Chain A
Amino acid sequence: MAPEAINDPPADLRPIPPACVVDENVFARIYEENCGLLVSLAVRKFQVPAVDAEALAHEVFLSYLRHADEVRDLHHWLIGAICNASRYYWRKHGRNVEQLDTEVAAERPDPRSRDVLTDLPNSIAIAEVLEAMPPRWAHILRLRYFEGYSIKEIAEQQGVTSKYMQKLVAKCLQRAQEIFNGLRARKDKDK
């Protein structure tokens, strides 16, 4: 005799009654008190560009409005939402990179490819070095030497003092040099 199916979870959940009556001021306070945190989380934890992080945080707030009645803890919900939104942002960003049209590319060569024979080995070496570094350190070096941020700006973004960031950048460079030397020694040995 075959057993009957075990209980399915309920098809949908019963709504939880609103915790309190809300007004516009309550929502304004929610926005003011949490917007900075959400943007910071997106920028610092997930390296979402600041402009996009602002837009993501705003989306999170708007999406909260339809869930307000069922949210048990506002901070948990908002933080969970921005973390998930940031991950989705990168998943989507990765998928949406457009492929280069090869015919158009052949007609209009990228000016940056002019010195490719000398630049490319350097670029590969740099990429290898950054790849071998801890992600946070690699991120700091990218900000400083590829995107042109000042020490002060990076320090603000990472939530540390400028003095500490100065030391950290020096440390990162030192580590990069060590990794580069190691890679070169290994390649020489392979030859």
Chain B
Amino acid sequence: MTAQTSVICSAGMPTGDRVDIVRRRFQAGEGPRVVLVAGIRGDAPEGIRVAHNVARVLGACHEQLCGTVDIYPCVNPLAAHRGLRNWPFFDQDLNRRFPGRANAHAPDLVARTLVDDVQGATQVLEVRGAHAAFAEAPQAQVRSGDSEAAKLARSANVHVVWSRAPGPAAPSTFAWQFPNTIVLEGGTGNRLTPEVATTLSNGVLNLLNVLGVLPDDALTFHWAGMSRPEVVGDEQVHRIRADVGGLFLPRHRPWDAVGEGESLGEVIDPISGAQLAEIPSPKAGRVLALREQPVVLPGSMVARVVEVSDG
């Protein structure tokens, strides 16, 4: 038995060719339907790799499944083709176009088609890499108040579960369209990080196990080795910004422990090399995100530090 591959939407190009948005369905037995979506933005390939890692495992144990797993490995193929965040030509951030529109240009049509196709899922997972300017520790994000999602996300093998209050743009994101969606994120924008891919892939497989779709003996690891992260709220996640413009040179890596007042990095003048500022951590904790693209202006975020019990 092999996965059933379907084209959910085919976007016609002005020059005549077509770009297909594909769903791979792994289905056997009775059980919940879990959806895994990746590649909504084209500059976060880690999610695409995780989707394929998971598909490879599911393909090898297809008959043992108890339910359905629908994998959409790359929703924004044109952007992924160029390593761009936005849908090219229209320069639209697909993750600001949901729920989309049926009778509209390609980004809106793809968004609408995806939402329609995902409807009815028991659990929705979105997996993605970091913003192109940052490296992120493996993490799960759920909407604040989604206690069931937060509880489930603790089985995603991530370092932390962030129960996050929705911002102004939230209603136009994919994750907003389906209650209890879990967003898995990690790695570095537009790059692949092997250990992050392994962490997140195992996390997705473990979630499938917890949800009853994937049996224990199909796991490629022992469930006891999964991390059991803390759930944190916005008040425990601190954004640290530069006060001066220059080049930010980090002194840490994601998930390093930092003490209160400890330097996260320095800002230097890009012409003279002179140090302009040290940027201290406001709290003791772990480095959740760190700027990798070094050019900063006053107000540019350089890191996120999360207060956790082992920080």
A binds B: no
Give me the interface of B with A, judged by CB distance under 8 Å: none
